[in-house]
Each structure stands twice: as C-alpha cells, then as structure tokens.
Structure 1
Amino acid sequence: MVSGSPHDAVLGLDLVAWTVISPLVAVVTVGGVALLVLRVLERRRQRGLAFLDRQVRAMREGEGALPRPLVGLTEVDKVTGDLARLAGELAQQRALDRDFAADASHQLRTPLTALLMRLEEIGQIDDLDAIRDEAAVAVTQVERLTGVVDTMRSRSKGEAAQLPEISLDSVLAGLQREYQPAFSAAHRTMRVVGPPGLAVRASPVDLSQILQTLIENALAHGAGRVEIEVRGSGTSVVIEVRDEGEGIPAAIAPHIFERSVTSHGSGLGLGLARQLAERNGGRLELVQAQPAVFSIFLSGPGSR
C-alpha cells in the first residue's frame, strides 16, 4: 500500500478549498464592482437631479440658463439640456417683453400727450371753423396712434416691415400742426427748411416716431428755435434736426443712443429712434453735440 506525503494531502485540500472559494471570491468581486458602479451612477443621477432643481428654481425667479453639468447619463443629460435651452428661450422672451413694454410706453406717451394738448385747446376755442380744424388734426393724431399700435404688433410678431414711398412734406406738415400748441406754450418756434417734394422709403409711422423723439428732446432739453432741414444726397435723403441750446454734455454724447443712458429720460427714446431708423434701412446719428444736431439718413424713392 502506497500512501501520499503530508504535503500532497495539504495541496489536495488547498485545491478543494480554492475550487469552493474561488467562485465566492468572484461573486464578491463582481458584486463589489457592480456596487461601485451603481454608486457612481447614483451620484451622477443625483447631480443631474440637483441641477434640474436649481434650474427650475432659477426659472421661477426669472433667471436664464444655469451652467449645466454633463453627468454622463444619456437620459439625464438630455433632460437637463432640454430644460437649459427652455430656460434660455424664456429668459430671452422675458427680455423682449420688457423691451416691448418700455418701447410701448415711450412710443404711445408722445402721441397721447400731443392729443391731450390738442383736445384741451379745442375746449378753449369758441370759433366753429377753428374747432373743425383742430378736430381734424386730432383725428390725424388718433390715426397715428392706431398706426403705432399696429406697427408694434407687427414688430412683436417678427413680420417684415414694408417700406412704401412717402412724402416728407406730408409727414413734416403733420408734425408742425401737431406740435404747434406745445411750441406756442413754450414761446418757441419750429420751422422746416429745404426743397419741397422730397420722398423717402420708410414706414410713415416709424418716421413720425423718429422725428417726434428728436422734436421732443429739442423741446424739453434744448432752447430757441428748432429747425428741421431736409436735403437730397444722391439716392439718399438726409433730415437734420437742430436747436439753439447748449447741446449734449461731452461725457454723455458717445452713449446717447444706449438704452441704459437716461439723460432726463431721453436715453430710451433716442435708442428706440435709432432702432426704428435701422428697421427702415436707414441711420440716425448725432453729428454734432454742442449745439445738438441729429441726422436721419434714409433711402430715396429710387433705391431698392
């Protein structure tokens, strides 16, 4: 009978033990790795959910898109991305709405003030013919108000502006009639100089708004006579508005068209007036600060 050595016996036991234990070790190892992976995925998921919570809170406060973490989970990253884009779009729309409200306030205030002054003047007149004349001007002002509202509605919808050929004489004559009471009350005058018969391609409502803004500023912040000069320049038409006041301070002049500039409330108006000029394919520039001279450059009827 041959018997094995003690070493062989121990080795046999080790092999048996390893055969039994190794699957358990593998299971534990795999389980540990799986648990680690699950913890990593859970942390990523929690990061995504935390961002969603912060973003929703920010949107409630009127803020835009927050810096977005990429957590590496396709579904979570897609949801956070979609929400961030939505937040950005909503913030942009809120900004547009704020600008629209500010623009509406400014654009409607001027014609409403002029209309009120006209109606007050009618109430003090006894002559029937004079009342008819003033009432006709008031009707024109109401029509202009309607045009302002229609133009703003079209602009808010992103509709392309139509640029008809219009007579400068007609626009300027209407503004002279409209502002005559205000200039009389201020013991000042306004006159138009330049060749008659000039025409431009522009929205009559927008052009009236631009000129009203410049006239209002000259009336409120300028002095002496307000002069509107018109002239042709090649295929363009230039309209200059000037007064005899001290003009615009040097520190403000470079920023006069910025919305953030509020030189006695004129910043929004001039910024909006420049936007309207650009909307009509033209420009509005401050060509001289002291005394103030503003120039409007528009295309003539021969331009397309």
Structure 2
Amino acid sequence: MRRRLINSTLAVVLVVIAVFGVSLVIVETRTISSSAQERVDSEALRLAGIVDSRLISDERITAAILRDQIATERYARIDIPGREPIEIGTRPKGDVISSSAPGEQGEKVTVQEPRAAITREVGRTLLIIAAVALLAIVAAVLLAVRQANRLASPLTDLAETAERLGSGDSRPRHKRYGVPELDRVADVLDSSAERIGRMLTAERRLAADASHQLRTPLTALSMRLEEITVTDELDTVKEEATIALAQVERLTDVVERLLTNSRDPRTGSAVAFDLDEVIKQQLEEWRPAYRSAGRAIVSSGKRHLEAVGTPGAVAQVLAALIENSLMHGGGTVALRTRVTGNQAVIEVTDEGPGVPHDLGARIFERTISGRNSTGIGLAVARDLAEADGGRLEMLQTKPPVFGLFLSRTPASSKEASADTVR
C-alpha cells in the first residue's frame, strides 16, 4: 500500500509539472523574446533621437562618440544621407534581433542583437524551472512517504488488532490515529473487543457455574443410585427411585436456571410457593452427605410460610449454603425460618469456626474462598437470590449465619409458629 500511495502521489505531481512546466517554458520563452525585441526597438529609437539632436546642432557624429550610447553586445548602423555609414560595435553573425528607426533628418538607425543572448537567458530560465520542478518532486516524494506511513501504519495496527480478536485476545487497545475514518474503524474494533470479552466472560462464568451447581445434584443422585444397587427390597428401590427421579427434575431445573441467568441474570419466574416444601426437599437431599460426615442437619422456625420467588432458584441458594457449611463449617447445621416485615427469612448456620475476619463482606465475590475451593458457590447463590428480587447476606461471622431474604405473601391463617426439630 505504501508503494501505491507513493507512486500515485508522484504520478500526480509529474502530470502537474508536465502540464504547467511546459506552459511556463513556452510563456517565458515568448516573454524573453518579446522583451529583447522591445529593448532593441527602444535602443534604436533612442539612438535615432540622439543622432537627430546632433544633426540639428551641427555636431560631429562618429562611432567613438556614440559607442557609449548602446550596450556592448549590440551592433548599430547609422545611415545619414550624403555621408558614410557609421557602424558601432561588431556586426553579429547568425540569427539576430534587428530593429530600424528613421530619424527626422532623413537618417536611419539600425540596431541588432545576437539571438544567442536570448538563448542563454532562456536556458537560465529553463534551468530555474527544472530546479523548481526537481524540488517539487523531492517534496512530493517526502510528503507521499509521510502520508503513506501515516495511513499504512494505522492499517497495520488495525489488522493486528483484528488478528488478536480472532485469536481470542479481546482487550481493547483504545488507540487513535488522528484520521476520522481510521478512528471510526478503531472504535468499532474496540466495541467489538468489549462485546467479545463480555461474551467470553459470560461463557466462562456459565461453565464455572454449571460445573459447581451440577456437582451437588449429581453427587446426591449417585448416592441414591448406589443405595438402589445394594438393596433387595422392592419398596426401598421404589422409594429411592422416586427420590432419584425428583433429583433428576431438580437437576434439569438447575440447568434451565443456569442457561436463563447466562442470557439475562435479571430474568426470573417468581411465583408464590411454600418454603416448607423447599426446605424439606433440601433436608432429604443433604442428610445422607451429613450422615456420612458424622454431622446433622435440622430445621426450625415458622411453618407454612409462603414466599415469592422461583422454587428451583431458592433450592439452589439453600444447597449452596448447606454445601458451604458442610465443607467449611462444623457441628450441626440449622435452617431457621422467621418473618421480618413483609419478608420471609431463611437463616443457615452451623457450629464451625466461622468466616475469617480478612474475608468479611468479600465472601460473596467470585474466586474468594476460605479454603481450596472454586470460590463461586456463594457468588452464584447471591446472583440467584437477586434474580427474583431477594437478597442473600451474611448476618454474622462467628458463628456463621447466612440469611436469605424473600418477599412473602400477606399473612394467612395457615401460618403458625412452631419450634420443631427434624
């Protein structure tokens, strides 16, 4: 591209020089010739006037007296009736410029100038024009190289940026070049890089969330299937199979929820549901894991509370909190339900050492974990809670208490306070 820009610029300059240079040469040549002819004519008239005045005054007229009246390179001949011609200077040979002027006393003055002088002057003019044209060509080449670099270098940078985008590097460069068209392309590439970066981040986040959220249902399902394989009682097989099918449905709900959140985290399908059913389902699902760890999981608080939200999302939030207590907590895990204002609250607590002081409120940030875990469980749980208009907070660090706040339907006669332990 640089070569094309340089060649095109140079071609334009050469055409301009050719057109205007030839015209200028013709005009200057004619001007020089006309000026020389006018000088010779003026010289002849002036010399004729001098001769007239001397004839009238009856003064001597000789070549020596008149020699200083004409230029040294010119030749003059004065023809006076009844006298010998008077010649001043050397008669030029070859092509000459000649002018004759008659006098009032009958004399005739002829002045000649060799055309070689005009040729030399024309040559000097052509040399000046050629030098100016050469300087113009050099300046045009330098300008063309500068412009070519100014345009080609940004295009090279933009090509490299596009190649980086294609290879997965979605960092915007925010580099501008001072050329509106190129800056527009750079703006579009930067915007595309930001969109691609957001898409890649969303894809990675979906993969991480899916791997984390699907791990627990798959583990519980695996445990149910193992119990089916080791028992010979038909009733037990049916019961475990029914529970396994329910877990498959919840697994499907988890996948659907993850896909929905990946498209729009604010999208929810909030309905009024019974919190007791969700808590009961979570207790049944997690009791085998806690029993294997030698720990217990119980629930207490108000019963028959109705909340507004997505049952599957609420179940996933509780599962994340219960799993967090299983991995990082200790002792008995308790799920307590209570009412505050127009909100239903589910608190999850355990008897472990609590959340380290250096983590604090950062516990809900992604990649933040007190141990060697993914650090995304609580972050996903908070996103799920907020998607339906709820919120997830850490109410206490030692012992740890997490609270899930959900909007609730108006109080009904079904609500009753009970402090039972399952």
Q: How does 1:1-304 map to 2 (within 5 A)?
A: 1=44, 2=47, 4-5=70-71, 20=126, 23-24=129-130, 27-28=133-134, 30-158=136-264, 160-262=267-369, 263-265=371-373, 267-301=375-409
Structure 2 SS opposite 1:223: coil
Deviates more, 1:90-99 or 1:261-270: 261-270
Distance 1:158 1:37 in 2: 53
Instruction: Please report how far the alpha carbon of residue 175 of structure 1 lies from its aligned counterpart in structure 2 after TM superposition.
Output: 0.9
RMSD: 2.8
Q: Pick which of 237-246 and 83-92 moved more.
A: 83-92
Give the letter aligned to residue 377 of structure 2: G
Give the whole-Å Cα distance in 1 for the aligned partners of 2:280 and 2:316.
Answer: 14
Cα separation, partners in 2 of 1:42 and 1:200, compared to 1, 3 Å: same
Q: Which moved more, 1:113-122 or 1:66-75?
A: 66-75
Instruction: Give the number of aligned pairs.
Output: 302
Give the counterpart letter for 1:139 in structure 2.
L
CA distance in 1, matches of 2:159, 2:196: 17
Distance in 2 (alpha carbons) for counterparts of 1:177 and 1:151:
22
Instruction: Give secondary structure in 1 for the equivalent of 2:231.
Output: coil
1:157 alignment partner AA: R
SS of the aligned residue for 1:256 comes to: helix
Q: Provide the C-alpha distance between the structure 2 equivalents of 1:87 and 1:38, rounded to a whole number of angstroms.
A: 33
* Same amino acid, percent of matched pairs: 36
For the structure 1 residues 148 and 39, does the alpha-carbon distance in structure 2 shift closer, same or farther, using more than 3 Å as the test? same
C-alpha distance in 2 between matches for 1:106 and 1:32: 69
Q: Give the letter aligned to residue 126 of structure 1.
A: D
2:376 alignment partner, SS class: helix
Task: For 1:141, give the aligned amino acid.
Answer: Q
Between structure 1 and structure 2, the one with the greater Rg is 2
Distance 2:366 2:311 in 1: 24
Question: C-alpha distance in 2, partners of 1:191/1:44?
Answer: 73
> How big is each residue's C-alpha offset from its partner over 1:154-173, in whole Å with a ceiling of 9 and x where there is no partner?
22233822211111011111
Q: Is the 8 A contact 1:48 1:71 kept in 2?
A: yes
Q: 1:153 is paired with a residue of what secondary structure? A: helix
Q: Distance in 1 between matches of 2:140 and 2:246?
A: 79
Q: Give 3-state SS (helix, strand or coil) of 1:248's partner.
A: coil
C-alpha spacing 1:4/1:97, structure 2 compared with 1 (3 Å):
farther
- AA paired with 1:37? L
TM-score (norm 1): 0.88
Gaps of 5+ in 2: 1-43, 48-68, 75-112, 411-422
**Shift in CA distance, 118/4, structure 1 to aligned 2, threshold 3 Å:** farther
Contact 2:317/2:381 (8 A) holds in 1: yes
Single out whichever of 61-70 and 167-176 deviates more from structure 2.
Answer: 61-70
